[in-house]
Amino acid sequence: MNRKIIVLDTTLRDGEQVPGAKLNMQQKIETAQQLRRLNVDIIEAGFPASSEGDFRAVQEIAKSVGDSVSITALARAVKSDIDAVYESIKLAQDPLIHIVLGTSNIHVEKKFSRSKEAVLQMGVDAVKYAKTLLPHVQYSTEDASRSDFEYLWKTIEAVVKAGATMINVPDTVGYAVPEEFGELIRRIHERLKNLDDRVILSVHCHNDLGLATANTLSAIKNGAEKIECTINGLGERAGNASLEEVVMALKVRENYYQCHTHVQTKELLRTSRLVSHLTGLDVQVNKAITGENAFAHSSGIHQDGLLKDKQVYEIMSPEEVGADSMELILTARSGRHAFKNTVEKLGFDTGDEMDFEQLFEEFLQLADAKKEVYDHDVFYLVTNHRAVDG
Ligand code: KIV
Ligand code: ZN
């Protein structure tokens, strides 16, 4: 069975926690509108208890796009935070309260200095209170991947009985590795199914070891039904799982995962560029899916193969993510085939009219000197060659 994976985008909450990535109200609304175009299922719009500005931004986002996409916002397990979330998202059509509370020994002992039982009770009380306000409540077991499994499960069981409709399992500090995280999700999924199969199992992975995408995919393979991610992988420290990577992995490898999302992948590049522009944070050139070089080919062997059939070196078409068609970067390593292709693309006839071998030699000299040769260089090269030829 091909399952639908629910996509929650947290660019405006976890993503906005990146130092220097502060967005003003208008920029947040613009981002939310683009996320709606991208067709994510849920937008996490902020952390309303953190400031008056954040509260108002969440409220405006809920008003602006909450008629067609579910809106959530984050609360700690305290009444005042939950009230702030409720007040800010209540005008959305499908509002969801998101409560977070740690389950690892480190969090329980160092952050709360309370007994495990007392922390668990805080979580249960928070869910019960949230349920008096809204029907949909997500509970995040912060630092789940470093938690004792039986305590983690005890917490999940108790908050589900208290009314939580989604359980989110975060790898808060990016500590997990794919096999281990997949196994954690498999065990939770197995028990959750027996407890209440209507409850949605979600994951939220951080990228401290560069494994956020891999961990998210491993979780999906093991039963996760919802994923949390951000555009360009923005987020605390090394960031969150990158939405564009997870979504395209599911699309390109649909047969393997037997899952799909409702994300409009043709909007991915535009969304990535918008978020980069608004936050002022560049996307690395070799970033998968949306980096400048994601569909650029420079080696002669690859260019020759691609010109014969794109599938030789392309696993997805650039158009699928909203990029222009593949780009051949001419360098001294480009062969005759790629060079000839560019000359002809510029409207020149490479037949009888010119000494192609001579022209190719001139191109190699230029490429040695310049490293990368652009279309305007080739244009100049050909016109100059013709003029000299007379
Ligand atoms: O990383 C984390 O644990 C979080 C939670 C609020 C889900 O961001
Ligand atoms: Zn996070």
Index of the ligand 1 atom closest to the CA of residue 13: 8
Centroid of ligand 2 to alpha carbon of 240 (angstroms) = 7
HSE at residue 96, side-chain half, CA atoms within 13 A, is 24
Q: In the prediction, which pLDDT does 387 show?
A: 66
- Quote the DSSP letter at residue 110: I
Helices (H), 147-177: 149-162
* Long-range contacts formed by 279-286: CB under 8 A, 24+ apart: 279/15, 279/18, 279/20, 279/21, 279/23, 279/234, 280/20, 280/21, 281/18, 281/20, 281/21, 281/232, 281/234, 283/232
Shortest-distance Cα residue to atom 1 of ligand 1: 172
Cα-Cα end-to-end distance for the chain: 67
Most ligand 1 atoms within 8 A of CB, residue of 17, 152, 172, 226 to mutate: 172
SS3 56: helix
Centroid of ligand 2 to alpha carbon of 381 (angstroms) = 52
Index of the ligand 1 atom closest to the CA of residue 204: 7
Centroid of ligand 1 to alpha carbon of 150 (angstroms) = 20
In whole angstroms, give the CA distance from residue 309 to residue 98: 48
Instruction: For residue 240, say whether it is annotated as part of any ligand binding site.
Output: yes
Most ligand 1 atoms within 8 A of CB, residue of 10, 12, 16, 74 to mutate: 74
Centroid of ligand 1 to alpha carbon of 374 (angstroms) = 45
Which distant-in-sequence residues (6+ apart) come within 8 Å of 191 by Cβ?
153, 156, 157
In whole angstroms, give the CA distance from residue 9 to residue 357: 53
Shortest-distance Cα residue to atom 3 of ligand 1: 172
Instruction: For residue 206, say whether it is annotated as part of any ligand binding site.
Output: yes
Q: In the prediction, which pLDDT does 385 show?
A: 82
Q: In the prediction, which pLDDT does 297 show?
A: 85
- Quote the DSSP letter at residue 112: I
Quick check: ipTM above 0.90?
yes
Most ligand 1 atoms within 8 A of CB, residue of 17, 96, 100 to mutate: 100
In whole angstroms, give the CA distance from residue 142 to residue 168: 9
The dihedral formed by the CA atoms of 243, 249, 251 and 256, expressed in degrees to the nearest 10: -140
Comparing CA positions, the residue from 325, 326, 339 lying closest to residue 367 is: 339
Which ligand number lies closest to the CA of residue 47? 1
- Its pTM stands at 0.91
Shortest-distance Cα residue to atom 2 of ligand 1: 172
Centroid of ligand 1 to alpha carbon of 141 (angstroms) = 8
Q: In the prediction, which pLDDT does 353 show?
A: 62
Which ligand number lies closest to the CA of residue 74? 1
pLDDT tens by residue, the chain, 390 residues: 899 999 999 999 999 989 888 899 999 999 999 999 999 999 999 999 999 999 999 999 999 999 999 999 999 999 999 999 999 999 999 999 999 999 999 999 999 999 999 999 999 999 999 999 999 999 999 999 999 999 999 999 999 999 999 999 999 999 999 999 999 999 999 999 999 999 999 999 999 999 999 999 999 999 999 999 999 999 999 999 999 999 999 999 999 999 999 999 999 999 999 999 999 999 999 999 999 989 988 788 898 888 898 888 899 999 999 998 777 889 999 999 999 999 998 888 887 667 899 999 999 999 999 999 988 899 999 988 876 655
β-pairing, 226-229 with 6-9? Answer: parallel
Phi and psi at 99, nearest 5°, equal -110, 135
Shortest-distance Cα residue to atom 4 of ligand 1: 172
Residues with CB under 6 A from ligand 1: 14, 74, 100, 140, 142, 168, 170, 172, 204, 206
Most ligand 1 atoms within 8 A of CB, residue of 14, 141, 152 to mutate: 14
Centroid of ligand 2 to alpha carbon of 61 (angstroms) = 20
